[in-house]
Structure 1
Amino acid sequence: MTSIPASPPPQSPSPSATPPQLSVQGAKLSLGGRPVLRDIDLTLARGEVVALLGASGCGKTTLLRSIAGLQALDAGRIALSGQDVSVLPARQRDIGMVFQHYALFPNLSVRENIRFGPLARGEEPAKADERADELLALIDLQAQADRLPQALSGGQRQRVALARALATRPTLLLMDEPFSALDEHFRLPLRRQFRQLQRELGQSCVIVTHDREEAFELADRVAVMFDGVIAQCASPRELRRAPANLRVADFLGMFNRLDATALDGAWRRDTGHWIAPVEALTVADAIRPGAADALRFSGSLRASYPGQQRVAWELDGPGGQVLTLWRRHEEAEVAPGTVLTLEIAEPALRWLAE
């Protein structure tokens, strides 16, 4: 028997040859004469999750609606897989959407809600049923397939909304505060189930959230937004290590910052701040001499707040700045007003100018 030589393995396209799943370039939009989006650029790789994180009114939902085709831009370009969709209506953009309040059809069963999209696109009923069965298994709701939405819990309804958005195999999935309406008991496991499902499917996704913990847990990259501008877009690890500026650091809520003018010695500067992750601030060991490369200063305990995982101490630091120190529950209690020697190891410190 003549052997057939093995075919050479297919060559993966170079990164430059593969267009990003989503590309937003120079997006500008004003509403009522007020700038809402200010020259925004954003890209999303295939299979990547990006979270738009910011306070109410920063423009994150408007950006999501513009990507979806629900809000026209004044200027800029939006492309999906290299195709310019800036002027296409929402129904032609091959985008799935999951909203905060489910938006399920109340008169349709779980299965009918999921198969609605494929049927509306002209798929044969047998194919739509096959897709519905596949997704029901993924979201673990086979036993509830014939129930109406009102017979489900909030977490179950949000899973159905997710399955319905995925039923058409969209190029891009957009999620607008998808878990915020749920109690914490449902919210935490559901968002972790979503992350596992997203990885299994390789689904590209943009999520709008104001919850920093949610953004860091779900996203490969987090875009921190202020006043219609993306101040920094980076991985959670990079944001923890190197926030772009003081505003980003303060918004993330995981850093202590010290006014350099209130410090002594080599740490004192005319302007700017030293910042360090909250977990890097410790009570100095009086027995061990301070390391030469550590920043040491005094602070008095203002109050303590026992949490589920740890106790947060609120301290008055140099120049009256309020600092946060995390302690374990089993550590000895300290009375308010107690003056402590505090320490931050030099590698944790980062200088940010005003």
Structure 2
Amino acid sequence: MALLQPSFNGALLDKDDDDDSAGSYKCTNAAVAKMMRLWNYKDGSGLGAQGQGIIVPIQPAVRRRRRAGIGHRDKPYDNGLQVAPPLSPVEDDLDECREWEAVVGALRLERECHEKTLTLLREMKLHGDSSVETADALAAIVKSGEVLQGKRALGAWKAALPPSTVRYIVDKVLSPRLAVEAQQWRPSWDPECDDWLRPWIPLIGHLPESLYDVVESKISSAGHDIVRPWKDYFDPAHWELFARRHVLPELTRLMRELRMTPPKQTDSSLHMAMLWAPLLHAEDVLSILEETEFFDKWESALRHWLQSAKPSYGEAVAWCTGWKKLFTPELLADEHVLARLDAGAAMVDQETQDLDSLLGYSW
């Protein structure tokens, strides 16, 4: 590395060690500052012939949290509970945005339905369908496109169509096609039904009743990702029937097979059950929790762990908190559920006697 040449002018300016200008150099004393100025160093630049050195000092990557006491740990306990990270206040404020995105998605689906219906009717005309009903339906669909041009309320497009047009398209055009496609549908390939059903929902409202048996036979033993969309695709009465036949038994099975294994939960049955829970009424899920004695088993496992292994207060609270966060908001709104979970927290307070109890953890 080339050496910097001393500056004669700099030497004249800084001949006095007590010169105030030397004090302008940070993180050094007057003598060192004077020497650096003699070698043409400029305040605020980096060291080196080209000034390529770093300017900001390297900061330590890890610091202990202020006022952290004995037993403090920044790393969370690995208790095996699959819990999503808590929402920040900013994310909480996004709920309204998510609702708006859902509306925008539904409006976009209406436009897609209009385009597919228009294409289908035109293809029918090209293939020789000269019926008056098809011609009238095509004209109505073309005219309804005007509704899609500006701002509109959800459902305004279908409302702009004559009822006779909707009946003709649903009963005579779409239902026969859907019957064939339902037979050919493979849930694992198209779980959201994007290829055959979902685009028509704005027009047909829900799956035609004649196809319920076919669809039920295909999804009755399917997983959550395949069953979930059908809460919207079935009409409410048929979904209620399907849920009682298939979803409730699955949820009951998961809760009966659940095993609590503190300090690290290896059984994910409750996590899976809470995925199914939003598809059911909250009171039905609560009945299953009572029927399978979930809270009794949970308190028993917690008590045995506290008395035999004597975990730290922080670890015990983290375990209880992990279970609580698995529950859906609808279940946590129930006073009985909160009372049983709070009973577990009270048990931790009573059983743990180590130093962590002095730190005042709360959950």
TM-score, with normalisation over the residues of structure 2? 0.29
Q: TM-score, normalised by structure 1?
A: 0.30
More strand by share: 1
Q: Quick check: which one's helix share is greater? A: 2
**Bigger relative contact order (CA 8 A; separation at least 6):** 1
User: If you compute each CA radius of gyration, which structure gives the higher value, 1 or 2?
Assistant: 2
